[in-house]
Structure 1
Amino acid sequence: MTLVSAAAISAAAAPANATQADASSERATRCSSSWKNAGAVPGRWSKVKNSDCSIIGHDGFKIGYQWAVERGGSICVKVKGFNAQHKLRWYDAGCSKKGSVKVPWGNVADIKEMKVKGTALFKWR
């Protein structure tokens, strides 16, 4: 039988005053911290996904996206989010070599995705 100290158990538990918003923000930060490599092709939209991590939102929650072209020209970007009725919506983030945007996520569990178009190799998170 293994003995576990009360300190070890309480260290693993969430603080009593932690809110759902705090937990969602912490997960989103962890999921958004590492850059993913991707490529865009000219003339058509293609999707890039971060399947490593699911985001669990809540009403009023927003998720951030960032991208930076390493080789090639500007890319046009649309990012996944969810409207107030929890319906999937693609938000236009414009065309540039580098950018960031925050969009509504709501009370939905899903993965981050972007639609991109252009001729470039880029990183995103």
Structure 2
Amino acid sequence: MISALVVDADPMMCSFITGICENTGSFRVHTAESGEAALVWLFTNDVDVIVSDSRMPHMSGIELLRALREQNIQIPFIFFTDDNSDFLKNEAYQNDAYGFIRRRGTEKKPFLDLMRLMYWAAGYPDQRE
């Protein structure tokens, strides 16, 4: 089973991602509604992959990624966001993001792409454990 931490300031989006992932039977999802809460949670817990929005109050997704890398935490980090700017993508990859997926509301394809990337990041490229 793949464990994931989803970080998004929108509790409904956290719930939506959790529901989709956990319904496959392959994921156990934990959520945090801020970068700060994610850091606190990761202090005592471990996951296979982190999925984060880029736009959050107080600590952006980029700031969260930088904080993790500064602490030498190398968990694969995937941006799942509605922000599709080239600047953000460049910042993400320069700071060692594993992937970047643009979501468009609750459109199905980005969520399928996210799960596929989560499998790969966790070392299950054929989507079977």
Specify the TM-score bucket, using the shorter chain as the normaliser.
under 0.3
Looking at secondary structure, tell me which structure has more strand per residue. 1
Higher normalized contact order (CA 8 Å, seq sep 6+, divided by chain length): 1
TM-score by length of 2: 0.24
Greater fraction of residues in helix: 2
Report which of the two structures shows the higher radius of gyration computed on alpha carbons.
Answer: 1
